[in-house]
Amino acid sequence: MDWRNVVEFSDDVYWVGARDWNRRLFDALIPLPKGTTYNSYLIVGEKKNALIDTVNPGFEKELEEKIRQIIDPKDVDYLVMNHAEPDHAGTIPHFLDLNSKAVLVTTSRGAKMAETFYKVPEKRIKIVSDQETIELGGKTLRFIEAPMLHWPETMFTYLSQPGILFPCDFFGSHLAKGVYDDEVEDLIVHARRYFGEIMMPFRNMAEKALEKIEDLRINIIAPSHGPIHKNTQRILEAYKRWARGETRQKATIIYVTMWKSTEKMIHPIAETLAAENIEIALHDLTSADIGDIVEDLVESRAIVLGAPTALGGMHPIALNAAQLVKALRPPAKFGAFLTSYGWGGGALRQAKEILTSAKIEIVGAIEVKGPPSESDIQQVIELGKTLARKISNEDN
């Protein structure tokens, strides 16, 4: 008997993915404190069988053996590639070697990527257009183009009977544990973190995709990372809010300090904002988890950045964080910058350039030479009050 766990979560629809408990980094950037899953799904029809996405390289035998518990892997007719990133598509060459009849089903952009990245010959690719369907016998697959979520070729697959959406990365979360959403108490936090890391730069495309699936009867959402959503309304409503860029009365404060001068301004502004009933999240960039910062940014209305001048510009750790914030395009409208220098500035100019190009209104910036004086701290408190008013007035 095979000990590998497969899950039939709907009639003849199986989870055959892999759990990567020990992975701690994704894209050489994103921390994975809870590991992740590479979800692959097998659909057994009366006439044809389909596999939705594969798994990260290194897990190909696990996928193969899991499929074998249900059908012979050679009996898969369609290998659907919703997304070409290697964590879902990297095992395609192994699978197509194993099964000489299966065709790869993907978008036209996906076809080019499959040829480039995985050397899939053209004759083994079936390009599907938006809303095209494939009959499996008693089950119908519909393909929905959803580009730039988060690569150009991305699409969703919808199984109309009984209403299962396979959206690949969309609606995902980096969690190794949990088959279903109700097994993870703080799933929405992990989903928000994932949205911030992967989907936030593409909020306009996310909104378009959400509109596109609005009229579908969706009973289950089966993403490619993390648990399967049975409570589809919860994750759909959250995604609508995040894609629209709805923010709360919240400020994310990120800073780095060398000799505590910057930190001496960070604490008063944090306390002032809190006293004005603004929710705050504070991260020292030398020890913070990037994913935690990003999770906070998804719903923050303001960002406070603190960094000294070092080597003629913003401290490199803060510069890196500021560039990352700009690239992730969070919905924050307001910003403030606090900085100190020893003998020559440079950080202030850089911070203004980056925050302005990120379309963040700089409500105030305070630059001090050496440690802040009592009057500097008073200015910081006043800036905190002004920022709090800006944040609160957005609700009116």
For ligand FEO, the binding residues (CB under 6 A) are 83, 85, 87-88, 150, 169, 224-225
For the chain, counts of helices (H) and of strands (E): 12, 23
Cβ 169 to ligand FEO, closest distance in Å? 4
Place of tokens 């020893």: 342
Cβ 175 to ligand FEO, closest distance in Å? 13
Cβ 27 to ligand FEO, closest distance in Å? 9
325 HSE (CA, 13 A, CB side)? 33
The residue among 154 and 249 lying less far from ligand FEO, judged by its C-beta, is 154
The residue among 150 and 283 lying less far from ligand FEO, judged by its C-beta, is 150
Candidates 278, 172, 186; CA nearest to 229 is 172
The residue among 19 and 150 lying less far from ligand FEO, judged by its C-beta, is 150
Percent composition of the chain: helix, strand, coil (DSSP 3-state, to 5): 35, 25, 40
Cβ 224 to ligand FEO, closest distance in Å? 6
Cβ 339 to ligand FEO, closest distance in Å? 36
Query: In the complex, which residue's CB is closest to ligand FEO?
Result: 85
CA 112/CA 224 separation, integer angstroms:
22
Helix/strand/coil for 163: coil
Candidates 56, 53, 12; CA nearest to 37 is 56
Indicate the burial class of 68 (C-beta count within 10 angstroms; 0-12, 13-18, 19 or more): middle
Check if the beta carbon of residue 88 is closer than 8 Å to that of residue 38.
Answer: yes
CA 267/CA 260 separation, integer angstroms:
11
Cβ 83 to ligand FEO, closest distance in Å? 5
The residue among 168 and 310 lying less far from ligand FEO, judged by its C-beta, is 168
The residue among 83 and 250 lying less far from ligand FEO, judged by its C-beta, is 83
The residue among 81 and 321 lying less far from ligand FEO, judged by its C-beta, is 81
The residue among 224 and 262 lying less far from ligand FEO, judged by its C-beta, is 224
Cβ 155 to ligand FEO, closest distance in Å? 13
Query: In this structure, is the dihedral angle defined by the CA atoms of residues 226, 229, 231 and 235, taken in order, positive or negative?
Result: positive
